[in-house]
Amino acid sequence: MSHFAFGLRPLAFFLLVPVAVFTFAFSLLIGHFLSEPLTRLAARLRDFRTGDPAPTTIPIDGRIEEVDRLTVSLNRLSETIRTQQESLASRESRESTFVSDVAHELRTPLTAIRGNAEMLSDPDLPPAMREKFTGIIVEESRRLSNLVNDLLALQRLESGNIATEFSRVDLGQVAREVVDSLSPLLREREANCQVIGEAPDVLGNRDRLKQVVFNLVENASRFIEPGGHITVELMGARGNSVLSVRDDGCGLGDADPKLLFDRFYRGDPSRNRGTGGTGLGLAIVKSVVDAHDGMVEAFNLPDGGACFLVAIPSIA
């Protein structure tokens, strides 16, 4: 009996051909089934790497468990990268705006100093005018010094190092010390200031918390009429030590209270930079309070005036 190569009978060979074809086609189908999700993943990652603005979330088709797990991991990685990119872009925008604002704020006193110094170079200037221009230079120099000091304070706060200097702090004692230290300024501005109430101790940086109270009380003293009142009140509430600074001045006007804590924010004309502040005092307050895991809010009082409220977690 004749045989084909490899000893196969003719009938067996003709039966094997369609089986082989079917097996090959089935293998291609299985290969496509297994590789298609991975190919889709690779294409989506390639788009993401090249900056494709389309959504980066890859849908889960549920066909292969291992591929689904990989898809979940890649989606999480994609979301993390996207969040970091948005945070970086926001930070760069804030830094750019901050540099622009600082340049603007520095330009104003420097221009005044230069202009008045040039006027003083006139040998025929009357003594009264010479005294006036000298006073302006001194005042603008003081303002410039305060601005630089506040910028340095913000830089130190944002470096995150103050958390290593925490200790037990009595906010009531801090408030009384601040009011005592501000008494000459308060008398000059004819401001009546009192500290009432008590609050539980907090874990914090004593010097920075004094700066918070100092900035709030000094800020309030700028916006009250002669003979006006400032009240610093302390209390405990829901596990927090609460300190409020109220005044009976012009209030916040129509300004968005949240924007008051932005650097160099210019709000209602009645509370503008003409009061002599650097525009950084409330930004420093918020940075300090944030570093203490607290919150700070501002609002208008029903009977007029403004209230700034600080809450910091109490020590049990």
Q: Across 17-21, 97-101, 106-110, 309-313, which has the greatest mean pLDDT?
A: 309-313
Compare 5 and 299 and report the one with higher pLDDT.
Answer: 299
pLDDT of residue 153: 73
Mean pLDDT, residues 14-37 taken together: 64
Hey, what's the torsion of the CAs at 160, 162, 168, 170, to 10 degrees?
Answer: -100
Sign of CA dihedral 271, 272, 276, 278: positive
SS3 309: strand
pLDDT of residue 199: 94
Q: What's the first-to-final CA gap in the chain, in angstroms?
A: 101
Asked if the model's pLDDT at residue 312 lies above 50, the reply is: yes
Asked if the model's pLDDT at residue 4 lies above 50, the reply is: no
Which of 251, 249, 269, 255 is CA-nearest to residue 189?
Answer: 249
CA atoms of 75 and 306, how far apart (whole Å): 47
Asked if the model's pLDDT at residue 218 lies above 80, the reply is: yes
CA atoms of 282 and 280, how far apart (whole Å): 6
